[in-house]
Amino acid sequence: MSTNNSNLLLNMPSSPLMSARRVRLRPLADSDAGFLYQLMVTPQAGGRVRFAGATPSPEKIAASLWDSVLAQFIIESAGRRRPLGLVAITTPNFRDGFAYISALGSPEIQGRGLIVEGVVLCFHYAFTTWPFRKIYMESSDESYRAFESGLGRYFTEEGRLRGHVFWNGRFMDIRILAVYRETWQQFAPLMLMRMHAKA
């Protein structure tokens, strides 16, 4: 990576970065309808998170896509431009300075860090576009295991809803996690630089 790019990232870009070395964010298009339907009904993704095991019609999924959404993007591979997932900034509260972020990824790419990189880009988009103090995430115990190592460093647990959701034969907690603007400003430059660096 060039010195200029390193300096840009270390000085925290003031405009949103929509791509990194492995992934990029782009607006939804009509051609994404098939991918989004499969993502929403797959049990490991939207079928569990958004529709709790139901298999809604394509029309119902299309109608629900923009509920309470401030901005959302397809996460796709930077090289092949293959859709990998969906990330959204939702339920903004501009008076009190917070919003929520949610993400879904295709099951076949789980564990490769690609969705996490898309989420990092979306955090950067949100914090550089609006004056949010913090951005919340909600995570079940099952999903939380994939990124729990960041607790206390990148995000804080502000609350927990005990036995709140039923999935896979048992009740699970939902954790209310928050990324604060000051934490983001501290760690984002290095994270973004690593995401742009060559392997």
The pLDDT assigned to 46 comes to: 56
Q: What is the mean pLDDT of residues 7-19?
A: 61
- Asked if the model's pLDDT at residue 35 lies above 80, the reply is yes
Show me where the domains of the chain are located: 3-196
Q: How confident is the model at residue 6 (pLDDT cuts 50, 70, 90)?
A: very low
Place of tokens 């607006």: 27
Angle at CA of residue 20, ends 117 and 178, nearest 5°: 35
Place of tokens 């293959």: 82
Note whether 176 and 157 are within 8 A (CB). yes
Single-letter code of the amino acid located at 87: V
Q: CA nearest 159: which of 138, 144, 135, 182?
A: 138
Note whether 47 and 61 are within 8 A (CB). no
Q: What is the mean pLDDT of residues 41-63?
A: 73
The pLDDT assigned to 14 comes to: 58
Angle at which helices 114-129 and 181-196 cross, to 10°: 130
Chain-centroid distance of CA 56 in Å reads 23
The more confidently predicted of residues 142 and 73 is 73
Query: Of 1-5, 113-117, 127-131, 141-145, which gets the smallest average pLDDT?
Result: 1-5
The more confidently predicted of residues 47 and 43 is 43
Instruction: Report percent pLDDT > 90 for the chain.
Output: 47
> Looking at the domain that runs over 3-196, which CATH code has it been given?
3.40.630.30
Chain-centroid distance of CA 172 in Å reads 21
- Asked if the model's pLDDT at residue 161 lies above 60, the reply is yes
Q: How confident is the model at residue 38 (pLDDT cuts 50, 70, 90)?
A: confident
The per-residue pLDDT for range 177-186, each reduced to its tens digit, is 999 999 999 9
Exposed/middle/buried for residue 111 (C-beta within 10 Å: 0-12, 13-18, 19+) = exposed
Q: How confident is the model at residue 55 (pLDDT cuts 50, 70, 90)?
A: confident
Q: How confident is the model at residue 148 (pLDDT cuts 50, 70, 90)?
A: confident
Q: Is 94 helix (H, G, I), strand (E, B) or coil?
A: coil
Helix (H) or strand (E) holding 177: strand 170-180
**Mean residue pLDDT across the chain:** 85
Beta bridge partners of 184: none
